[in-house]
Chains A and B, each alone.
Chain A
Amino acid sequence: MTSPSFDTIVDGLSEVDCDVLVIGGGTAGPMAALKAKQKNPKAKVILLEKANVKRSGAISMGMDGLNNAVIPGYATPEQYTKEITIANDGIVDQKAVLKYARNCYGIIEELDSFGIRFQKNENGDFDVKKVHHIGTYVLPMPNGETVKKALYRQLRRAQMLISNRYMATRLLTGASGRIAGAIAVNTRTAEFLVIKAKAVILCMGAAGRLGLPTSGYMFGTYENAANSGDGYAMAYHAGAKLANLECFQINPLIKDYNGPACAYVAGPFGAYTANNEGKRFIECDYWSGQMMLEFFNELQSGKGPVFLKLNHLHSDTVGEIETILHTVERPTRGLFHEGRKTDYRKDMVEMHISEIGFCSGHSASGVYVDDFARTTIPGLYAAGDMASVPHNYMLGAFTNGAVAGEDAAEFALNHDFEAFDAADVKLEQARVLAPTKREDGIPPNQIEFKTRRLVNDYFQPPKVTRKFELGQARLAEVREDMENTMVVKNAHELMRSLEATSILDCAEMAAHASLYRTESRWGLYHLRTDYPEKDNENWFCHTLLSKQDGRMTSEKKAVEDYVVPVADEEKDLYAKQRIRASA
């Protein structure tokens, strides 16, 4: 039934060049592009997006609030940095977090000038809510559904060059190791686009299609399902280092719906996470590995399922919460509850533990970056969920996107184009198009389903060494099938086949990184049954994964000296989440 103009594979390749190429136009990407242009109005900046910048990324339908706003009068950058250090079990290069914390208020003011409103109290002060264990950082956004529109207006105003429906597949580097550009494929025609660039910023979001949702629906993910981990895979193949990938993202979500419930919105109104007796069992609903471990323990104890409890709240309060939850972020929440006849006023909302992913927005697994958003490849930047600054969330994507944009514009001013080998483009074309040349074989959806089912079976924590090894062996078989027999019929399927390759790359990285760190850390995120204890003596460090001489390798990297000291008695505040009475 599809019209012939759509999805037919067309032979073609064009080449463009620019000063700064931003890949991914969700949250961090638009801000990076705007800031690069602001920094140097003469610079040619291209924003490349797999979907359409108008509605792409995690904030496709807006957001209900900022999860990590450091607002003068409520919190200091130092307090925030300390809290994130503790929440992330100490494995934090604080400089980048502190810089975020110092810059983010300015970004809030800028977003405000774009027309995005932030909640104020009757005195005209920002109405910041406490959700974290220690400090107060959550700021509601009353017109949160307009975020994407507001960003798009700014892009239009800046006359940004936007290339929608181009999926980046590989980065190009030169002989010196510097960034040279990227290769992309049109998702509706399969035509290639080679973009030569002096600097490249990766803003391609989380690896959100790694584990398989328990519903079995491959696109029923927490993350925007377009975020298939392409950024992680591209950085890896280009030789960049990726940090702490074993620190998985695992979220407490509405069972089956697989979206947030969302305790950050409902918590400040008095809602909380409860067990099947309707009792609280954790002190704080802020998502951390330690919190997820208590969630897991509660399920194991027979006191599950775990619920979000709102049915003790006043009907008007529930109404207020409903209005937020059912209009922004994941607005189909209301429809889902309606379908199951779940009424917040009467029923508790059944929650579960999500499948795994990589994400620094919520956790700490990302392409390694310093406090200028620079990766380990000169001229290559990363920001947002895919960059290693932990617990970054939306405001982190905006703020660090801005940092990346400014520094990349400067880098582009001081460098010329780096030459790359034309053979690399030919090789990539051959890799991408291989499944189109076959008459027969396995379609990408089956390759992807099997990869992700294996991820669930073998890699979902608690992590067992023997299971990981078996999982690796099974994935090697899938890789063989993928490389030799995957077959696609049209350009849309070709995009899915490329995503399948990213997902498999990420699955292999998840296993490799997890086996390397022989201790347990970050609560459930890296709970190893064979190494159940935290081992600060040997593992108080980052792990960096990279491709060296064609092989996946892991190494240790020391945690930078803290700029904000953490006292010994504060260090495991996040490990003490369980409410004593129910323990």
Chain B
Amino acid sequence: MPFAQSPSAVPVIVDDAKCIAEKGCRVCIDVCPLDVLRLSDLTGKAYMAYDECWYCMPCEADCPTGAVKVNIPYLLK
């Protein structure tokens, strides 16, 4: 069976200008209970790779530079 790519807007946004992943920071990726954040090959910054978020906020609360913003997932907004 071929797979379709169905797009979905992810609720968690990382401000690339503030993210200091290049200095080795992985805090948000480390703490996320659903393990949905990853490091982008393209930008070297953290981003939401999987649309499986519990909108719980540890990523935002623990980011040392305030780069992460959690929004309410569109489907339940």
Residues of A bordering B, CB below 8 Å? 1-4, 6-7, 51-52, 54-57, 60-61, 165, 187-188, 213, 215-221, 224-226, 256-258, 330-332, 335-336, 339-340, 440-443, 492, 495-496
Q: Which of B23-77 contact A (CB under 8 A)?
A: 30-35, 38-42, 47, 49-50, 52-58, 61-62, 70-73, 75-77
Contact partners of B30 in chain A: CB under 8 A: 52, 54
The answer on a CB contact under 8 Å between A217 and B76 is yes
A55-B58, A215-B75, A441-B1 in contact; A60/B33 too (CB < 8 A)? Answer: yes
Query: How many whole Å from A122's CB to the nearest CB in chain B?
Result: 32
B63: min CB distance to chain A, Å: 12
B interface majority secondary structure: loop
Please indicate which of the listed interface residues B56, B62, B77 has the most CB atoms of chain A within 10 Å of its own CB. Answer: B56
Residues of chain B contacted by A492 (CB below 8 angstroms):
35, 49-50
Q: Is the CB of A2 within 8 A of B41?
A: yes
| Residues of chain B at interface, number, CB under 8 A | 32
Contact of B56 among A61, A257, A442, A496 (CB under 8 A): A61
Option from A55, A215, A216 in Cβ contact (under 8 Å) with B33: A55
| Contact status A61-B58, CB under 8 Å | yes
Partner of A220, one of B31, B40, B76: B76
* Distance in angstroms between the alpha carbons of A131 and B74 in the assembled complex: 34
Are B57 and A61 in contact, with the CB atoms below 8 A? Answer: yes
CB distance from A582 to the nearest CB of B (A): 30
Most B C-beta atoms less than 10 A away, residue of A187, A213, A218, A335: A335
- From A7, which residue of chain B is reached at the shortest CB distance? B38
Minimum distance in angstroms from A523 CB to a CB of chain B: 26
Chain A interface mostly helix, strand, loop or mixed?
A: loop
- Chain B positions near chain A (C-beta within 8 angstroms): 1, 3, 30-35, 38-42, 47, 49-50, 52-58, 61-62, 70-73, 75-77
A165 touching B35, Cβ below 8 Å? yes
Is A57 touching B76 in the complex (CB atoms < 8 A)?
no
Can you name 20 extra interface pairs (CB under 8 A) apart from A335-B71, A339-B72? A1-B38, A2-B38, A3-B41, A4-B41, A51-B34, A52-B33, A55-B32, A55-B62, A60-B56, A61-B56, A61-B57, A165-B35, A215-B76, A217-B75, A218-B52, A220-B54, A225-B33, A331-B61, A332-B56, A332-B70
Nearest chain A CB to B33 CB, angstrom units: 4
Could you give 20 example pairs across A and B, Cβ below 8 Å?
A2-B39, A2-B40, A2-B41, A2-B49, A55-B33, A61-B57, A188-B35, A215-B76, A217-B76, A218-B52, A220-B73, A225-B34, A225-B54, A226-B34, A226-B54, A256-B77, A331-B57, A332-B55, A492-B50, A496-B52
CB distance from B7 to the nearest CB of A (A): 14
Q: Is the CB of A213 within 8 A of B76?
A: yes
Q: A217 to chain B: which residues have CB within 8 Å?
A: 73, 75-76
Closest partner residue, chain B, to A49 (CB atom) = B33
Given that A55-B33, A219-B34, A226-B33 are known contacts, is A332 also in contact with B39, CB under 8 Å in the complex? no
Q: Measured between alpha carbons, how far is A581 from B58 in the docked complex, in Å?
A: 45
Report the nearest A residue to B27, measured CB to CB: A54
Q: In the complex, which residues of chain A have a beta carbon less than 8 angstroms from the beta carbon of B40?
A: 1-3
Which residues of chain A come closer than 8 Å to B72, judged between CB atoms? 257, 332, 335-336, 339
* Cross-chain contact A61 with B61 (CB below 8 angstroms): yes
Q: Of B47, B54, B77, which one neighbours A221 at CB under 8 angstroms? A: B54
Residues of A within 8 A of B47 (CB): 1
Q: How many angstroms between the C-alpha atoms of A394 and B50 in the bound complex?
A: 29
Residues in A neighbouring B53, C-beta threshold 8 A:
219
Docked complex Cα distance between A335 and B72 (Å): 7
How distant is the Cα of A220 from the Cα of B39 in the complex, in angstroms?
Answer: 24
Q: Provide the bound-state CA to CA distance between A220 and B74, in Å.
A: 11
CB distance from B51 to the nearest CB of A (A): 8
Interface centre among A165, A226, A495 (most CB of B within 10 A): A226
Docked-complex contact B56 and A339, CB < 8 angstroms: no
Q: How far is the CB of B20 from chain A (nearest CB, A)?
A: 17
Rounded to whole Å, the gap between the CB of B23 and the closest CB of chain A is 16
Q: B1, B56, B61: which contacts A224 (Cβ < 8 A)?
A: B56
B61 closest partner in A (C-beta): A61
Q: How far is the CA of A455 from the CA of B3 in the complex (A)?
A: 25
Q: Chain A contacts of B35 at CB under 8 A?
A: 51, 165, 187-188, 492, 495
Task: List, in ascending order, chain A residues with CB within 8 A of B1's CB.
Answer: 440-442
Closest to A330 in B: B56
Interchain CB contact under 8 A, B49 and A51 = no
Give min CB distance, B24 to chain A, whole Å. Answer: 14
Chain A nearest Cβ from B31, distance in angstroms: 4
Q: Are A220 and B75 in contact (CB under 8 A)?
A: yes
Q: Are B31 and A55 in contact (CB under 8 A)?
A: yes
Which of A1, A54, A188, A224 is B31 in contact with, Cβ under 8 Å? A54
Contact of B33 with A256 in the complex, beta carbons under 8 Å:
no
Nearest-CB distance from A203 to chain B (Å)?
15
How many angstroms from the CA of A348 to the CA of B1 in the assembled complex?
Answer: 48
The CA of A335 and the CA of B12, in the complex, are separated in Å by 13
Complex Cα gap A213–B54 (Å): 12
Q: Whole-angstrom distance from the CB of A260 to the nearest CB of chain B?
A: 13
B43 nearest CB neighbor, chain A only: A1
Contact in complex: B75, A224 (CB < 8 Å): no
In the complex, chain B residues whose CB is within 8 Å of the CB of A258: 76
B50 contacts across to A, CB distance below 8 A? 492
Residues of chain B with a CB closer than 8 A to A187's CB? 35
**Shortest CB distance A511–B (Å):** 26
* Chain A residues with CB below 8 A from B54, complex form: 219-221, 224-226
Which chain B residues border A55 with CB–CB below 8 Å? 31-33, 58, 62
A498 to B: closest C-beta gap in Å: 13
